[in-house]
Structure 1
């Protein structure tokens, strides 16, 4: 299952979540997270005016907070490796991906 984000994609194969971001500056390596290691998920659907996001919380890490400002308000910063901004058109797939990861965690 793949979800197209604003600057990247999130893939889930039933066991591993892979977040691949489109490079801004140096090319970031894809981040692979085992679903069993995820302690929580945060999902905010995108609207007509604002992008939403999907974020995965891991043990021992504090989830990145939502940024303020005009262009990036209401979502974690691009530099957060465990989240990805999503456009409104990806809401349905993102919701299904989050549900699948939550189910795989149990």
Structure 2
């Protein structure tokens, strides 16, 4: 199961979640963790004007600081990916599959 995001993608094979990010001028970096290690998730669906995001909380991840103005995870967080409105359905299906695998 794959979700194409902005400057990256998320892949879930039933056990492992792999988030691959590529930034301009840099090599792609991949972060891989087991679905069983996920302690929490955050999902915000995209709209016409704003991108959505999917964030996984795992031991050692950057947890979003409360009180930030827009309350969105930072781009430096390796355990989250932003996506466009066209990927809302795929992102919610991937989230449901990860939540079920956590279970």
TM-score interval (norm. to shorter):
0.7 to 0.9
**1:105 matches 2:102:** yes
CA distance in 1, matches of 2:73, 2:18: 17
Residue number in structure 2 paired with 1:31:
31
Q: CA RMSD in A?
A: 1.9
* Structure 1 stretches lacking a partner, 5+ long: none
TM-score normalised over the length of structure 2: 0.87
1:16 aligns with 2:26: no
TM-score normalised according to structure 1 size: 0.85
Q: How many residues align?
A: 102
Match of 2:100, SS state, is helix
| CA–CA distance in structure 2, aligned partners of residues 65 and 10 of structure 1 | 23
2:88 to 63, 80, 91: 91
5+ residue gaps, structure 2: none
62, 73, 76: which one pairs with 2:73? 76
